[in-house]
Amino acid sequence: MSGSSRFIADLSALYPALALIGASGLILLVMPFLRRCGGNSGSATISGLGVLAALALLIRLPGEGFGATLFAETLVTDSLSTASAFVLLLSGLLAVLIAQSYLKVREIDEPEYYAILLLSMAGAYLMLLANDLLILFLGLELMSFGFYAMAGFARRDGRSGEAALKYFLTGAFASALFLYGIMLIYGVSASTEFAKIQSAVAHGALHTPMGLAGMILIIAGLGFKVAAVPFHQWAPDVYEGAPTSATAFLAATAKIGAFVGLIRVLDVFAGGSQTLIPMLRVLAIATMIYGNLVAIAQTNVKRMLGYSAVAHAGYLLAAMVCVAMHYEGTAGARTNTAAMSASVFYLLAYALAGFGAFGVLAYLSSRDKDVQTLDDLRGLVQRDAPSGYALILFMLSLAGIPATVGFIGKWQIFYAVLIGGDMTLAVTIALTSAMGAYYYLRVVWYAAFESASGPDAPRQVGLTGAGLTVFVSAFATLLLGIVPGLLTGFLQVVK
């Protein structure tokens, strides 16, 4: 194959990202016209079409390219990247729908928001394909810069600016750790390519202080993005202060990109250090316990969901322990298959429930009132039955109650840990899930059984983006919880 033919073939794997970048550029190009026309409908439409185009291009990726390395082995296309990219783009579509109505109601509907959102998605997509530490870092930063800007988009709200500043400062520190870790790993392997680092690890690179420090710093940088303890401090403040549409997007997207990146890194580092699995196990247990424990005390629903996101990161870290055990040879291929498919399924389940819950909050918000607290949800079923019942469904899914997709996702994580033989993690998952059920059911109680104390919920005319997000998320949450076999084909792609 000639050089130009090879380049074109390699480029096909990036078509979804190029579609997102192209849509972002188009929005910026026609932004003055959109402003004169008023509103954000034009930019929202372009964004939605861009995400749909990316989905179509993802589906049409040539099957023979799966498992192939691209662009001098800096990128890789495989079943993991394809399955997780599907979840990422679905999340992006829901994020556009929420923003379409929420930004308009809050009077912050600027075309730049959508351009930033699309670029952030492109960065996350790049992380999914990364086969080189520098490419992983590039995708991480492109994704993160979008998050920083979106968190501070509600300029009239001081909490939004505070959230953006905190997120940027802590994010910059985490990026510095990650980059310093890359430097140390380069020092012991003379490369940033995963295959060459893996070869160096096999020859004892992580037995040196420099190599061990590099591994720890890289995992710490990714741990910040998924809000793992003790790198979680930003999450509650950002979830509470950022616009609800931005919170929903970063909650799902950051986990998708960072956890797939972590799987890639574990493939490289596993077996090279006796520190890796114990470190991951401690991170998982601490994250599950702390996230659920602190969430119990919260009365602000968005802040509660921030600590809840910490807890969900802990469940996914438990699956990462199983992945690392397989790579080290202490667990069989069955463990790896179960853990990998469980992780991607759990990311999908979390995205559906998260977007649905934030979609309800976005739908109930007005220009002067961003619905956030438990008191705002008192008697919601009486005031707006569809929104109330939908919120109840999403809380049950996040709690892992049977007949919801959240239960299937949590069960798959639990099953992967069981067949991996880690009873400590299995018991921790069971106990912390029971703890988490308390604060989710408290939201259910306020919405269904408390007397309405505020005015009726706003009635928006027509089908809004937030309303459509709630409907789609609720339908998928219930359907996949009752008939999870519908995703059998999807899980086979991951396996």
**Which pLDDT band, with edges at 50, 70 and 90, does 495 fall under?**
very low
Mean pLDDT (whole number) for 400-424: 90
Q: Where are the alpha helices (DSSP H) in 190-243?
A: 194-202, 209-225, 234-241
Q: Which residue has the higher pLDDT, 347 or 67?
A: 347
- Average the pLDDT over each of 134-143, 239-248, 322-331 and give the range with the smallest value: 322-331
Does 37 score more than 80 pLDDT? no
Check residue 102 and give its pLDDT: 87
Cα–Cα distance list, 122 to 20, 117, 126, 135, 153 (Å): 6, 9, 6, 12, 20
Q: Is 328 a member of any domain? A: yes
Q: Is 134 a member of any domain? A: no
- Tell me the two tokens of residue 378: 């008192």
Q: What percent of the chain has pLDDT over 70?
A: 88
Q: Is 475 a member of any domain? A: yes
**Which pLDDT band, with edges at 50, 70 and 90, does 218 fall under?**
very high
Check residue 156 and give its pLDDT: 80
Check residue 155 and give its pLDDT: 80
- Tell me the two tokens of residue 108: 């912050």
Q: Is 108 a member of any domain? A: no
Mean pLDDT (whole number) for 264-272: 82
Check residue 336 and give its pLDDT: 66
**Which pLDDT band, with edges at 50, 70 and 90, does 7 fall under?**
confident
**Residue 296: strand, helix, or coil:** coil
- Count up the domains in the chain and report the number: 1
**Which pLDDT band, with edges at 50, 70 and 90, does 204 fall under?**
confident
Check residue 494 and give its pLDDT: 47
- Maximum Cα–Cα distance across the chain: 71
- Average the pLDDT over each of 68-72, 228-232, 406-410, 447-451 and give the range with the smallest value: 68-72
149-193 pLDDT, tens digit per residue, is 999 888 888 888 899 999 999 999 999 999 999 999 999 988 889
Does 62 score more than 60 pLDDT? no
Check residue 64 and give its pLDDT: 46
Does 484 score more than 80 pLDDT? no
Check residue 326 and give its pLDDT: 63
Does 487 score more than 60 pLDDT? yes
Check residue 233 and give its pLDDT: 86
Check residue 205 and give its pLDDT: 80
Check residue 456 and give its pLDDT: 56
**Residue 367: strand, helix, or coil:** coil
Place of tokens 């005319």: 461
- Average the pLDDT over each of 42-46, 236-240, 336-340 and give the range with the smallest value: 336-340
The full DSSP string for 413-448 is HHHHHHHHT-HHHHHHHHHHHHHHHHHHHHHHHHHH
**Which pLDDT band, with edges at 50, 70 and 90, does 61 fall under?**
low
Q: Is 261 a member of any domain? A: no
* Average pLDDT value for the chain: 86
Q: What percent of the chain has pLDDT over 90?
A: 49
Q: Is 90 a member of any domain? A: no
Check residue 16 and give its pLDDT: 92
Buried b (16+ CB within 10 A) or exposed e, 178-213: bbbbbebbbebbebbbbeebbebbeeebbeeeebbb
Q: Is 20 a member of any domain? A: no
| Distance from C-alpha of 465 to C-alpha of 476, rounded to nearest angstrom | 16
Q: Is 92 a member of any domain? A: no
* Domain hosting residue 406, numbered range: 274-495
Mean pLDDT (whole number) for 290-310: 93
**Which pLDDT band, with edges at 50, 70 and 90, does 419 fall under?**
confident
